[in-house]
Amino acid sequence: MNKKVLLQDLGHRDYKDTWDYQEQLFQETFDVKVRNRREAASEPTPNHFLFVEHPHVYTLGKSGDLSNLLLNEQQLEEKGATFYKINRGGDITYHGPGQIVGYPILDLENFFTDIHKYLRLLEEAIILTLDEYGIKAERSKGETGVWLDVGTPFARKICAMGVRASRWITMHGFAFNVNADLGYFDNIVPCGIKDKAVTSLNVELGVKEVDVEEVKPKIIKHFTDLFEAEMIAVKPQLS
């Protein structure tokens, strides 16, 4: 089993370009698995982890409800935002500046074959990161992602998650609000959940801005420990 994970920080990238790149990496891993099966070979399958920050964009999962987008085409343009229907699970979410987005493209057969466990460990990596800032985060039963004050009238989501997996290869991932403009969430019913708010790390800490370059290594440390992985930083391959 190959537990090496190639880490690329793509910086600020267009959503569609990054999605296409994810698909490319996914296909490369898929091809190795097919070749191994066909030729009775044992070529290691690669694992990747992408960090990225997107311009304003709304994405709707394959099981999502389009009515949860509260803007028409003209209003999207006025907001400087784009919209995509995509091939992950979950409903609608927002990505934008001030948000750390993580896309693990893993062959889970290198780690464990359990999608439920995979999602719980992604959540745990963010929960442990928030704990380093003195923030108690948790899960909300039946609602994927990371939340604060669950079970109270003040429940709010700080990290959304939505993944796709095929042949145990993952795509998409998490969106962690660090310095996010929360006003953009007013234009959707986030994740299709009508009665709960969203928040951002800087809001919870009562500061204007948190250094995202300080947050990323914390996420990677916890991800590495939880997945028993070996992270290898490489130069971004997306031109």
Annotated binding site for substrate: 88-95, 160-162, 173-175
By CB atoms closer than 10 A (0-12, 13-18, 19+), residue 208 is exposed
Catalytic residue among 10, 119, 126, 191: 191
- Alpha-carbon distance of 45 to 124, in angstroms, equals 25
pLDDT in tens, the chain (239 residues): 899 999 999 999 999 999 999 999 999 999 999 999 999 999 999 999 999 999 999 999 887 888 889 998 999 999 999 999 988 877 888 999 999 999 999 999 999 999 999 999 999 999 999 999 999 999 999 888 999 999 999 999 999 999 999 999 999 999 999 999 999 998 887 655 556 789 999 999 999 999 999 999 999 999 999 999 999 999 998 87
Provide the pLDDT for residue 68.
87
The pLDDT of residue 92 = 86
Binding site feature residues:
88-95, 160-162, 173-175
Beta-carbon contacts of residue 49 (< 8 Å; ≥ 6 apart): 5, 6, 7, 8, 102, 103, 104, 105, 106, 220, 223, 231
Please report where in the chains the tokens 């009238």 appear, as a residue: 153
Does 159 participate in catalysis according to the annotation?
no
**Alpha helices (H) along the chain:** 15-39, 73-78, 115-131, 201-205, 212-227
The 8 Å CB, 24+ separation contacts for 18-23 are 18/50, 18/52, 18/54, 18/103, 18/238, 19/84, 19/86, 21/50, 21/237, 21/238, 22/50, 22/103, 22/105, 22/171, 22/172, 23/171
Q: What is the pTM of this model?
A: 0.94
Q: Which fold has domain 4-233?
A: BirA Bifunctional Protein; domain 2 (3.30.930)
pLDDT value, residue 147? 96
For residue 143, the one-letter residue type is E
